[in-house]
């Protein structure tokens, strides 16, 4: 028998599975209507698909939606929405190898002095 555990990413969940999970967290009370998203922990959110038939499992590092499968290494719209601090800013392109000296001030002006 093979005893190797395969690590996998998040798996898409059915509406029935999420409904029973919400009922478990609410001590047996099923939700009146299914929410567009359900936050399990600070690191995991269940997001309802546009069709409403499944819930995608979204974490800061991965998502089970099709967009995350087609664009590996890039955050999908669910990750950008529910984990905005992870959005990376792209650096501005550099036209020169010289350092940017606009913020460099070799001395401070005294109060009342003006730049000539």
Examine residue 99 and state whether it is found in any structural domain, yes or no.
no
pLDDT at 26: 86
CA gap 22, 12 in Å, rounded = 16
Examine residue 69 and state whether it is found in any structural domain, yes or no.
yes
Total domains in the fold of the chain: 1
Examine residue 104 and state whether it is found in any structural domain, yes or no.
no
Examine residue 116 and state whether it is found in any structural domain, yes or no.
no
pLDDT at 66: 93
pLDDT at 3: 60
Instruction: State CA 19 to chain mean position distance.
Output: 23
Examine residue 100 and state whether it is found in any structural domain, yes or no.
no
Domain boundaries, position 58: 12-82
C-beta separation of 80 from 87 below 8 A: yes
Coil, helix or strand at residue 25: helix
pLDDT at 89: 64
Examine residue 112 and state whether it is found in any structural domain, yes or no.
no
Examine residue 92 and state whether it is found in any structural domain, yes or no.
no
Per-residue confidence of the chain (116 residues) as pLDDT tens digits? 556 554 567 888 889 999 998 899 888 888 888 889 999 888 999 999 999 999 999 999 899 999 988 988 889 999 999 988 755 666 677 777 777 777 776 777 777 777 76
C-beta separation of 64 from 12 below 8 A: yes
């Amino acid at each position: 028998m093979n005893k190797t555990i395969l690590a996998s990413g998040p798996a898409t969940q059915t509406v029935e599975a999420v409904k029973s999970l919400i009922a478990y967290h609410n001590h047996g009370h099923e939700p009146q209507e299914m929410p567009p998203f359900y936050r399990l922990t600070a690191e995991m959110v269940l997001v309802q698909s546009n069709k409403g038939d499944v819930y995608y499992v979204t974490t800061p590092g991965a998502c089970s939606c099709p967009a995350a499968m087609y664009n590996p290494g890039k955050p999908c719209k669910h990750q950008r929405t529910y984990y905005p601090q992870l959005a990376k800013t792209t650096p501005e392109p550099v036209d020169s190898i010289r350092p940017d000296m606009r913020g460099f001030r070799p001395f401070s002006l005294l109060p009342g002095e003006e730049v000539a």
